[in-house]
Structure 1
Amino acid sequence: MTPEAPSRRGSDFAELSREVKQAGLLDRRIPFYLWRLGGVLAALAATGVALVLIGDSWWQLAVAAVLAVVFTQIAFLGHDAGHRQVFAGKRANETTGLLLGNLLIGVGYGWWMGKHSRHHANPNHEDEDPDVDIAVLAFSAEQAQRKRGFFRFVVRNQAWLFFPLLLLEGFSLHAISTAAAVRRSVRGWRLELVLLAVHVVGYLTAVFLVMSPLKAVAFIAVHQGLFGVYMGCSFAPNHKGMPVLSAGHQLDFLRKQVLTSRNVTGNWFTDVLLGGLNYQIEHHLFPSMPRPNLRRAQVIVRDFCARHAISYAECGLFTSYGHVLRHLHEAGAELRGAAALAPAASK
């Protein structure tokens, strides 16, 4: 897919920004976030109570599934704090992000912030976006050709393996973000490590005190596996299958953000389910916009794009997964062709 050429570079986004600001959509929505924070903390506490009351039973696997949903909802709030959507001050947002990320769900806030900031600056850029530089996946034929060994096999079949691979995403988030703090590559690494350690000790102590070792391991596997699937299924529709940019592209900021992003249509339930990430276009244009304002902003942005002949991508959730899988299948096509030719050549 080739993005459209820009027009009136530099002026369009300024015009759109004025419309959005005049509508008051960049104003803080602190009561909304306090209500959300209270809700997820209550859900986390209720899950902990259920864990203790159910005891050493296989019914704990149901608790693990619920806890995966709670963890992901906490992650969404950590994401919002990282973009300074929650509070006006930098320190309050950072403190919130550290407590939600490191302490409550065990994912390093500093590592995530660095990675996610680079993604926002250059979405879907094959050289500069870390979200399209994943060892076990390829998002272009060129990336696929560079894979070797086991990763080459995975990429060849990545459309089929995509959802199973998401079962490992939760473990990956814990491991990579903790390793970044251990390497001291994030600011405030000491505090991050302390909070991560408190999370791990508290989590493992609770699980292994309440359950037998076998059930505890099964609980962790189900919880972390479903946490990874939920996280991956929430972020994958946003950019995967949209144009992949390379060095030297001529897109201005507005078009770079809009043409590489996809919205997911739906209602209030979709908003809750995806933590506002279903308004990916609006979020990328205005990262600090509070989540509850995104739905109203969509009306302005979609109309603006229509007036300026800018392609605005949106579809249903399951349709978006179809686009993702189709794109992954096409990216690995040459590897499958090479694999099919190899046996014939050896005869």
Structure 2
Amino acid sequence: MGTSSNASSGKEQIFSVQQIEDLIVKGQAIVIIDQKVLRVDAWLPYHPGGYKPIQHFIGKDATDEFVVMHSAETRQLIDRYQIGRIEGRWRNLVPPIQRDPEHGHTKNTKSGPNSPINYHEQDHHLPELPQLSSDRNTPEELAFLNAQTKEEIRLTLDRYPSLDAPTQSTIIERYRRLHAQIQAEGLYQCNYSAYAWEFGRCALLFCIMLVFLRLEWYCTSAVFLGWFWSQMVFAAHDSAHMAITHDFLLDNLLGMIIAAPIGGLSLGWWKRTHNVHHLVTNSPAHDPDNQHLPFLAVNHRFLGSLFSSYHERLMPYTPLAQRLVPYQAYLYYIILMFGRFNLYVQSWIFLIQGQGPRKGPAWWHRYFEIAGNLLFWGWFGYGIVYRSLPTVGTRVMFVLLSHAVTMPLHVQFTLSHFAMSTADLGPAESFPQRMLRTTMDVDCPEWLDWVHGGLQFQAIHHLFPRVPRHNLRRVQQLVLAFCSEVDIPYALYGFVGGNRKVVGSLAEVGRQAAILAECRRVVAGRIASGDVH
């Protein structure tokens, strides 16, 4: 009884900001959830979504993100990691992972490698500029890129609600009220009959593919195979978010079956990147879904040498990138035609290197997905491409066409983010404001929802990732009212208008790349002539 009482009293210990900072400096992973101080070091290697998402919340209040991304069963497990409590509103620190690792940059006086950055509220008028490599960029280039960043931050701050504590607290309070309303309306409950129609349609597409393959209409068969893959991805996306059964085992098993033996991909790889994407959306240095050099630069910051906290390496603006980026608006759709090949490569790198959890409830996923991917290349690579197609030319054509047909799916993945804000406004910004600032939705009639597969409601999905996609249209109505209430702009474009905005944004970065190239040419000319002043 005495031990239990002491443990209980320990969990109720009140921690100060200084005490929590000291723990983080010592290398401990401290996260705040629902006023509870959690030390989650022991959970990092077991977390099914990887350790990176947790690292982005060290020193921060992760209550809203944790609630909307985890099931009720998971939320009940956090008490085992509680070491104390906080009182009052927590002012977020900048997690160690979000500093500039290459330069050891920090804003506070502590010097340890895990030191957090303590943003106080008066610091939020203009967030600190991201650190670019001065070793790879000239002072002129750094000045140009920093000027672009300052302008982006200024325009963003002018358009969105203030980052002061009362404003952001009001947004959080009303967002939680909205979440409670969604739960009360039963919008987390899955419409299984709708999914029955989804899988029925996918089965029909696959059968049509086989019929045309038998008739030797190889191009038509390839098109239907690409459509089949695209439609199945929607269900894999939902299951990876536990939005179908809300059961960790069942949803992950369903998602892995779709991803690996049916699609030749790794759901584990996708979750590892996608979970980070959902938490630091559109951050050039932290969001892996934004990091596409040398082919695409979605923000001017990629024109310098930026360090990726996800890949843990410098992303250099290479000579190849310098040639491609100025023309990226014209190459955008062509590049996306080959997007599926990149997914194969990333999936196998993830599986071979064992980048996923090796402990905990997801320890076996790697082996299941390796077996599933081998099965995929058995039925697709050997059974269809090698055995069913008569010539090498036909095989190449079939593979290229079936993969190119999935291009609209990759357009949808990028459409909702590429043209939206990438400014880093610091840790004072609330979760709902950041999601609405960095994500757009696509307007379409209800009868076309099956074509978009729920991805047209990306802003809604980012706010409530576990809501089944067939309920997102109703949730959209509630979010519209919420945005009006808290004065956050809600980005909604038609499919054509959204594509125009993305291509225009890529063209603008391409124009900036051309300006930077001219700057380099002038500097090189000065050096060659001996005029370095």
Q: Same fold (TM over 0.5)?
A: yes
Larger C-alpha radius of gyration, 1 or 2? 2
Does residue 418 of structure 2 align to residue 240 of structure 1? yes
Does residue 409 of structure 2 align to residue 255 of structure 1? no
**Any conservation in 1 of the 2:205–2:227 contact (CA below 8 Å)?**
no
1:171-320 aligned at under 5 Å gives the runs: 171-187=341-357, 188-205=365-382, 206-212=384-390, 213-227=392-406, 229-246=407-424, 248-320=426-498
| Equivalent of 1:137 in 273, 279, 296 | 296
Partner residue, 2:256: 98
Aligned to 2:252, what secondary structure does the other structure show? Answer: helix
* TM-fit CA distance, 1:249: 4.6
Q: How far apart are the structure 1 equivalents of 2:292 and 2:520?
A: 26
Q: Residue 2 of structure 1 aligns to which amino acid in structure 2?
A: T
Aligned to 2:426, what secondary structure does the other structure show? Answer: coil
Q: Which moved more, 1:204-213 or 1:214-223?
A: 204-213
| Equivalent of 1:85 in 217, 240, 243 | 243
**Any conservation in 2 of the 1:127–1:247 contact (CA below 8 Å)?**
no
* TM-fit CA distance, 1:112: 0.5
**Any conservation in 1 of the 2:206–2:224 contact (CA below 8 Å)?**
no
Q: Residue 458 of structure 2 aligns to which amino acid in structure 1?
A: Q
Q: How far apart are the structure 1 equivalents of 2:271 and 2:520?
A: 43
Percent of aligned pairs with the same amino acid = 23
Q: Residue 176 of structure 1 aligns to which amino acid in structure 2?
A: Q
Does residue 175 of structure 2 align to residue 21 of structure 1? no
**Any conservation in 1 of the 2:175–2:482 contact (CA below 8 Å)?**
no
Q: How far apart are the structure 1 equivalents of 2:236 and 2:291?
A: 23
Relative to its length, the structure with more helix (as a share) is 1
For the structure 1 residues 252 and 341, does the alpha-carbon distance in structure 2 shift closer, same or farther, using more than 3 Å as the test?
closer
1:99-138 aligned at under 5 Å gives the runs: 99-135=257-293, 136-138=295-297
Aligned to 1:332, what secondary structure does the other structure show? Answer: helix
TM score, norm. by length of structure 1: 0.93
**Any conservation in 2 of the 1:81–1:94 contact (CA below 8 Å)?**
yes
| Equivalent of 2:323 in 146, 153, 161 | 153
* TM-fit CA distance, 1:166: 0.7
Q: Residue 463 of structure 2 aligns to which amino acid in structure 1?
A: L
Q: How far apart are the structure 1 equivalents of 2:411 and 2:281?
A: 18
**Any conservation in 2 of the 1:144–1:332 contact (CA below 8 Å)?**
no
Q: Which moved more, 1:304-313 or 1:249-258?
A: 249-258
Q: How far apart are the structure 2 equivalents of 1:43 and 1:338?
A: 48
Q: Which moved more, 1:259-268 or 1:41-50?
A: 41-50
For the structure 1 residues 249 and 152, does the alpha-carbon distance in structure 2 shift closer, same or farther, using more than 3 Å as the test?
farther
Q: Residue 173 of structure 1 aligns to which amino acid in structure 2?
A: L
Q: How far apart are the structure 2 equivalents of 1:233 and 1:251?
A: 28
Residue ranges of structure 1 left out of the alignment (5+ in a row) = none
* TM-fit CA distance, 1:70: 1.1
* TM-fit CA distance, 1:269: 3.9
| Equivalent of 1:54 in 199, 215, 235 | 215
Q: Residue 367 of structure 2 aligns to which amino acid in structure 1?
A: R
**Any conservation in 1 of the 2:205–2:224 contact (CA below 8 Å)?**
no
Residue ranges of structure 2 left out of the alignment (5+ in a row) = 1-154, 306-316, 358-364
Q: How far apart are the structure 2 equivalents of 1:46 and 1:324?
A: 34
Aligned to 2:355, what secondary structure does the other structure show? Answer: coil
Q: How far apart are the structure 2 equivalents of 1:245 and 1:41?
A: 43
Does residue 224 of structure 2 align to residue 45 of structure 1? no
Q: Which moved more, 1:33-42 or 1:322-331?
A: 33-42
- String of CA shifts for 1:169-220, please: whole Å, max 9, x gaps: 0111111111210111124222211110110121022222221221011100
**Any conservation in 2 of the 1:12–1:254 contact (CA below 8 Å)?**
no
Q: Residue 45 of structure 1 aligns to which amino acid in structure 2?
A: C
**Any conservation in 2 of the 1:264–1:279 contact (CA below 8 Å)?**
yes
Q: Residue 128 of structure 1 aligns to which amino acid in structure 2?
A: H
Relative to its length, the structure with more strand (as a share) is 2
* TM-fit CA distance, 1:341: 6.2
Q: How far apart are the structure 2 equivalents of 1:341 and 1:14?
A: 49
* TM-fit CA distance, 1:247: 6.6
* TM-fit CA distance, 1:48: 2.1
Q: How far apart are the structure 2 equivalents of 1:200 and 1:302?
A: 45
Aligned to 1:287, what secondary structure does the other structure show? Answer: coil
Q: Residue 223 of structure 1 aligns to which amino acid in structure 2?
A: S
For the structure 1 residues 338 and 260, does the alpha-carbon distance in structure 2 shift closer, same or farther, using more than 3 Å as the test?
closer
Higher normalized contact order (CA 8 Å, seq sep 6+, divided by chain length): 1
**Any conservation in 2 of the 1:83–1:288 contact (CA below 8 Å)?**
yes
Q: What RMSD in Å do the two structures reach over aligned CA positions?
A: 1.9
Q: Which moved more, 1:18-27 or 1:309-318?
A: 18-27
* TM-fit CA distance, 1:343: 6.7
* TM-fit CA distance, 1:8: 4.0
- String of CA shifts for 1:23-72, please: whole Å, max 9, x gaps: 22111222222331232123223312321x223xxx31122122111111
- String of CA shifts for 1:95-128, please: whole Å, max 9, x gaps: 1101100111111110001111111111111222
- String of CA shifts for 1:73-93, please: whole Å, max 9, x gaps: 101110011011111311110
Aligned to 2:455, what secondary structure does the other structure show? Answer: coil
Q: How far apart are the structure 1 equivalents of 2:268 and 2:290?
A: 20
